[in-house]
Structures are given as structure tokens and as C-alpha cells.
Structure 1
Amino acid sequence: MFNRFTAPRRPRHRWLRVVLGIAGIGLLLALLFVSVFVGIAMLAAGMLWRLWKQRGKPVAHGTRANSIDGDFRVVGKAQLPLAR
């Protein structure tokens, strides 16, 4: 029943092979082109959603951008047993 769908055959005519190969490459490029724009649209929608959710909230200005607030403890180097 499914034997005719298992192995697609290439056409024997040389020019038909070339045309179908170019059509396949064109289809792949079109899908890539569309997927890039869909990805850009999704990123833009996510950024707009985040900006919309943050509107009206105050922006924190008291801290520096490269500082982390918290309590820290220095941990010593692990002492491994010597190899014999």
C-alpha cells in the first residue's frame, strides 16, 4: 500500500532535474526568508508586550548598573586528597 511512497524517483530528463532542483532550492530559500521575518515579528511583539506591561511603573535609579545587592560569603578552595 505504501510502497509507492517510500522512494521518490528523480526524473530522467536532464532539464527537468535541473528545473526541479532549482525549484527545491527556491522553496527552501522562501521558507528561510519567511521564517526569519516571523522570528523578527515574534521578537518585536515580545518587546512591545514587555514595554506595555512596564508602562507607568517607576524606574529604579538608585543603584549602579553593574552592582549586585546581597550578602556574600567567601568560600575557600576545596581541599582534595593527594593522588597516590
Structure 2
Amino acid sequence: MFDTPRRPRHPLLRIALGVLGIALLLGLVVVGLFVGAAMLAAGLLWRLWAQRGKPVAGRARADSIDGDYRVVGKAQLTH
């Protein structure tokens, strides 16, 4: 029922269709890059918008431990 598509026999038409295919591929890559950059920018703006009004120094990291320490000199170490 369906035959495989045949390549055109005329050499100029072959070149024209090849160039058209490459241009379409490059156009899709460029559009994809712009869409990806727009998504990253929107994500950053979303995060900045969600953090507005919160104090920067008031945020604590979940993986940090609060504590006191003192420096022990070499003379105080026991063998």
C-alpha cells in the first residue's frame, strides 16, 4: 500500500532538499536552545519571587551543625 519514499533523481533538487533538511534541523536546535534558556530564566525568576521578603541571614542550612569549639595545642595532646 505505502511505498518507501524515493530520492529525487535531479541533482539540484537533491541538493535543495538536503539543504532544506539541514536548515530545518538547525532551526529546531536554535528554537530548543531558546526554549531551554527561557525555562531556566523563568525558574530563576520564580525562585527569586518566592524568596522575596525573607531575610537572607536568617536561613539555616539543614546539613549544618551548630556548636562551640576550642583549639587544642600540641602540648595538651596525650599519647
**Common fold by TM > 0.5:** yes
Structure 1 gaps of 5+ residues are: 71-84
1:26 aligns to 2:23 (yes or no) = yes
DSSP 3-state at the match of 2:7? coil
Tell whether 2:64 aligns with 1:69.
yes
Query: Post-superposition shift, 1:54?
Result: 0.3
Matched, 1:10 2:38: no
Unaligned segments of structure 2, at least 5 residues: 66-79
How much does 1:62 deviate?
8.7
Number of aligned positions between the proteins: 64
TM-score by length of 1: 0.67
* Letter of the 1:13 counterpart: H
Matches within 5 A, 1:41-56: 41-56=38-53
The percent of aligned pairs where both chains have the same amino acid is: 62
Structure 1 stretches of 4+ with a deviation exceeding 4 A read none
Give CA deviations for 1:41-69 in whole Å, capped at 9, x if unaligned.
Answer: 00000000000000001112698xxxx52
Structure with larger Rg: 2
Following TM superposition, by how much is the alpha carbon of 1:8 offset from its aligned partner in structure 2, in angstroms?
A: 1.8
